[in-house]
Amino acid sequence: MPTFLHTADWQMGRAFSRFETEDGAALVEARFEAIEKLARLAKEHQCDAVLVAGDVFDAQTVADRTIRRVFNATREFTGPWVMLPGNHDAALAESVWTRARRLAAVPDNVHLALEPGVINLEHQGLAILCAPLTQRNTYSDLTEAFDTWETPDGLARIGLAHGSVQGLLPDEIDSTNPILPNRAQTARLDYLALGDWHGTRQIDERTWYSGTPEPERFRNNEAGYALIVNVPGPRETPGVTPVETARYQWHQWRETLTVESDLDRLLDRLKALPEPSVVDLRLEGAVTLAGEEKLINALSVAEARFRSIQCDRSGLQLEPTDDDIAALKADGYVGEVIEHLRTRQQDDDAQAARDALAILAGLLKDRKQEASE
């Protein structure tokens, strides 16, 4: 009755250049910590093996240091690891995998599935049928060979592949590296461990995508998990338990503010997020000057709480109310300028008009405070 951990899509060496340097570095480090957590989970759950269904590395050109750190991070689980090349780290004649071997970085308990075939882990009761990608894109189903491969009696037949299950995933990823939806059935597999889709997803009772253990993009697809798989016996339905592995939660919100309560609800949602969050906001609509001040203050607090928060306010117009203008004592010519800037927010240079209006409001507020001191 073997038990193993199924993971995929580590994408080690991935850069996070869209973030501030400190935040990008923390996100990179979290991916190494995710491997260490996988090793601990495999040990805690007394797994017989860890199967990595492709894209261990983000590119063939990752640094030697990255290669060494990846294998170092697996140390806590001393049982067998089986690593499959995916489309990002395909088993080319010269690849990140051949470099890893030249560096002598691959531990003895790590099996690199660089060629199609079966890796028999007899002591663990597992026969791993491997379909590595030997080029970035293929247009034939590499798992078709599973149907004809024989495995020793008494070993669970486990497929390991990286690609797109046809007809069940979004069209944009169904074009290359295809996999038959019922491959587990045609190949008499006890379980088919897949990679390429970065979220945890069940295809059928024997076929799962584990997803990436640490989210790396803004897509709500159940990323940040690994799967503990228990095979009770030949042709019996495996037990699959998702285990959370993510350190950071990624949130992408697109909000339109029309009334004051919209802003209040948005700020309440921000407050409810946990500290290890990566947040991308894009705001549209309109906000009063008082609301703008409340928003800026809330974003300042969030910047100190979260791993990262980025907010695009270019589509958010400033709409000073009569009370706003009265509070600024913006009468006469200044009041006319404010009204002009309000109107210009509808033009092509809306961002410049918005910024000017915000600056003018801030100057008027500062002048008012100085006069009262």
Instruction: Give the separation between CA 211 and CA 195, rounded to whole angstroms.
Output: 7
Out of 3.60.21.10, 3.90.25.10, 1.20.210.10, 3.90.1150.10, select the CATH number for domain 3-244. 3.60.21.10
Predicted pLDDT of residue 335:
61
Report which DSSP code applies to 361: H
Lowest mean pLDDT among 8-12, 213-217, 261-265, 367-371: 367-371
Provide the pLDDT for residue 359. 61
Could you tell me how far CA 294 lies from the centroid of its own chain?
Answer: 31
Residue pLDDT, tens place only, 14-34: 999 999 999 999 999 999 999
Taking only the tens place, the pLDDT of each residue in 187-215 is 999 999 999 999 999 999 999 999 999 99
Burial pattern 107-142, b for ≥16 Cβ within 10 A else e, equals eeebbbbbebebbebeebbbbbbbbbbbeeebeebb
How long is the chain? Answer: 373
- pTM for the whole thing? 0.86
Domain boundaries, the chain: 3-244, 249-372
